[in-house]
Structure 1
Amino acid sequence: MRGNDVLLKFLIWRLRNISDKNFILILAGIVGAIAGIAAVVLKSSVHFIQRMLERNFYLYDINFSYLVYPLIGIVITLIISKYVLKEKLGHGITHVLYSISKNSSIIKRSKMYSRMITSAITVGFGGSVGLEAPIVVTGSAIGSNIAQLVHLNYKKRTLLIGCGTAGAISAIFNSPVAGVIFAIEVILADVTISLFIPILIASVTGSLVSKALLGNDILFSFQLKDSFAAADTPYYILLGVACGLVSLYFTRLTYFVEGKLSRINNDFNRALMGGAALALIILILPPIYGEGYETIKSLLNGNEDEVLQRSLFYGLRENGLIIIFFLFAVMLLKPIASATTIGAGGSGGIFAPSLFLGGVTGYFYARTITQVFPFTNLSLSNFTLVGMCGVMSGVLHAPLTAIFLIAEITSGYTLFVPLMLVSAISYSTISYFEKYSIYTKHLVEKGDLIPNDKDRLVLSQILLEKIVETDLLTIHPNATLDDLVKLVRKSRRNIFPVVNDLGELEGIITLDDVREIMFNEEARKSIIVRTWMTAPPAFVSSNEKMQSVMNKFEISQAWNLPVIDNGKYIGFVSKSSIFSAYRSKLIRQNQEE
Structure 2
Amino acid sequence: AAATAGTFSSIFKAPVAGILFVMEVLSFDLTMTAMIPLILASVSAVLTSYFFLGKDILLHYKLIHSYRLNEVPFYIVLGITSATTSIYFIRAYFYTGRFLKRFRKLVPRWLAGGILLGLLVYLLPALYGEGYNMINHVLIADYHYVVNKFPIAIDHNATHLVILVFVLLTTFKVIGLSLTLHAGGIGGVFAPSMFTGAMSGYVLALIFNMIFPGLNLPPENFALVGMAGAVAGIIQAPLMAVFLIMEITGSQELIVPLMMVAAISFWVTKRTVGYSIYTMQLKGRSFIPTHNKDAFAGFMVELDRVVEKDFIPVEPSWTLGEMVERAVKNSHRNLFPVIDEHQHFLGVITLDDIRQIMFDQEMYDKIRVRDLMHKAPTVIFYKDDNFQKVMKKFQMTGAWNLPIIRRDGTYVGFMSKSKLLSIYRKKLLEITSE
TM range (shorter): over 0.9
1:296: how far off?
2.2
* Correspondences of 1:127-146 after superposition (within 5 Å): none
| Candidates 404, 407, 410, aligned match of 1:568 | 410
Q: Is the 8 A contact 1:305 1:314 kept in 2?
A: no
* Correspondences of 1:158-169 after superposition (within 5 Å): 162-169=1-8
Partner of 1:430: 269
| Candidates 409, 419, 430, aligned match of 1:577 | 419
* CA distance, structure 1, for counterparts of residue 189 and residue 136 of structure 2: 19
Give the letter aligned to residue 302 of structure 2. Answer: L
* 1:183 partnered with 2:25: no
Q: Is the 8 A contact 2:22 2:28 kept in 1?
A: no
Partner of 2:392: 551
Secondary structure of 2:79 counterpart: helix
1:457: how far off?
2.0
* Correspondences of 1:405-554 after superposition (within 5 Å): 405-486=244-325, 487-543=327-383, 544-554=385-395
* CA distance, structure 2, for counterparts of residue 590 and residue 429 of structure 1: 31
Partner of 1:244: 83
Give the letter aligned to residue 256 of structure 2. Answer: V
1:311: how far off?
2.4
Give the letter aligned to residue 374 of structure 2. Answer: T
Give the letter aligned to residue 555 of structure 1. Answer: M
Secondary structure of 1:239 counterpart: helix
C-alpha change, 1:199 and 1:499, in structure 2 (3 Å) is: closer
In the superposition, the TM-score normalised over structure 2's length comes to 0.94
Partner of 1:385: 224
1:438: how far off?
1.1
* CA distance, structure 2, for counterparts of residue 179 and residue 214 of structure 1: 18
1:378: how far off?
1.0
| Candidates 11, 27, 35, aligned match of 1:172 | 11
C-alpha change, 1:478 and 1:455, in structure 2 (3 Å) is: same
Partner of 1:110: none
1:419: how far off?
0.3
* 1:295 partnered with 2:134: yes
* CA distance, structure 2, for counterparts of residue 240 and residue 384 of structure 1: 12
| Candidates 283, 286, 294, aligned match of 2:125 | 286
Partner of 2:241: 402
Partner of 2:196: 357
* CA distance, structure 2, for counterparts of residue 490 and residue 205 of structure 1: 62
* 1:375 partnered with 2:214: yes
Partner of 1:154: none
1:184: how far off?
2.2
- Percent identity, aligned pairs only, is 39
Measured against aligned partners, the alpha-carbon deviations of 1:143-191 in whole angstroms (never above 9, x if no partner) come to xxxxxxxxxxxxxxxxxxx221222111111122212221222225112
C-alpha change, 1:431 and 1:404, in structure 2 (3 Å) is: same
| Candidates 187, 203, 207, aligned match of 1:348 | 187
Secondary structure of 1:250 counterpart: helix
Give the stretch that moved more between structures: 193-202 or 326-335.
Answer: 193-202
Measured against aligned partners, the alpha-carbon deviations of 1:406-449 in whole angstroms (never above 9, x if no partner) come to 11111211101000000000101101111211111232431223
* Correspondences of 1:29-108 after superposition (within 5 Å): none
Partner of 2:163: 324
* CA distance, structure 2, for counterparts of residue 465 and residue 183 of structure 1: 29
Q: Is the 8 A contact 2:376 2:403 kept in 1?
A: yes
C-alpha change, 1:193 and 1:529, in structure 2 (3 Å) is: closer
* CA distance, structure 1, for counterparts of residue 423 and residue 108 of structure 2: 47
* CA distance, structure 2, for counterparts of residue 474 and residue 298 of structure 1: 72
Secondary structure of 2:312 counterpart: coil
Give the stretch that moved more between structures: 480-489 or 326-335.
Answer: 480-489
In the superposition, the TM-score normalised over structure 1's length comes to 0.70
Give the stretch that moved more between structures: 233-242 or 528-537.
Answer: 528-537
1:192: how far off?
2.4
Q: Is the 8 A contact 1:444 1:450 kept in 2?
A: no
1:477: how far off?
1.2
* CA distance, structure 2, for counterparts of residue 312 and residue 517 of structure 1: 89
1:200: how far off?
2.0
Give the stretch that moved more between structures: 270-279 or 356-365.
Answer: 270-279
C-alpha change, 1:193 and 1:461, in structure 2 (3 Å) is: closer
1:392: how far off?
1.0
1:303: how far off?
2.2
Secondary structure of 1:563 counterpart: strand
* CA distance, structure 2, for counterparts of residue 474 and residue 196 of structure 1: 50
Give the letter aligned to residue 414 of structure 2. Answer: F
Secondary structure of 1:365 counterpart: helix
Secondary structure of 1:519 counterpart: coil
* 1:262 partnered with 2:101: yes
Q: Which portions of structure 1, spanning 4 or more consecutive aligned residues, are displaced by more than 3 angstroms?
A: 583-591
Q: Is the 8 A contact 2:15 2:42 kept in 1?
A: yes
Partner of 1:159: none
Secondary structure of 2:412 counterpart: strand
Partner of 2:40: 201
Point out the structure with the larger helix share.
1
Q: Is the 8 A contact 2:144 2:156 kept in 1?
A: yes
Partner of 1:49: none
CA RMSD of aligned residues (A): 1.8
Partner of 1:90: none
Secondary structure of 1:525 counterpart: coil
Give the stretch that moved more between structures: 288-297 or 410-419.
Answer: 288-297
1:235: how far off?
0.6
Secondary structure of 2:284 counterpart: helix
Q: Is the 8 A contact 2:28 2:290 kept in 1?
A: yes
1:590: how far off?
6.0
Give the letter aligned to residue 241 of structure 1. Answer: I
Q: Is the 8 A contact 1:288 1:330 kept in 2?
A: yes
1:588: how far off?
5.0
1:585: how far off?
3.3
* CA distance, structure 1, for counterparts of residue 142 and residue 310 of structure 2: 76
1:450: how far off?
4.3
C-alpha change, 1:341 and 1:308, in structure 2 (3 Å) is: same
* CA distance, structure 2, for counterparts of residue 227 and residue 578 of structure 1: 58
Secondary structure of 1:445 counterpart: coil
Secondary structure of 1:503 counterpart: coil
Secondary structure of 2:411 counterpart: strand
Measured against aligned partners, the alpha-carbon deviations of 1:537-571 in whole angstroms (never above 9, x if no partner) come to 11112212122111111111111111112211222
* CA distance, structure 2, for counterparts of residue 218 and residue 320 of structure 1: 31
* CA distance, structure 1, for counterparts of residue 303 and residue 37 of structure 2: 35
1:207: how far off?
1.4
Secondary structure of 1:440 counterpart: helix
* Correspondences of 1:145-164 after superposition (within 5 Å): 162-164=1-3
* CA distance, structure 2, for counterparts of residue 170 and residue 584 of structure 1: 34
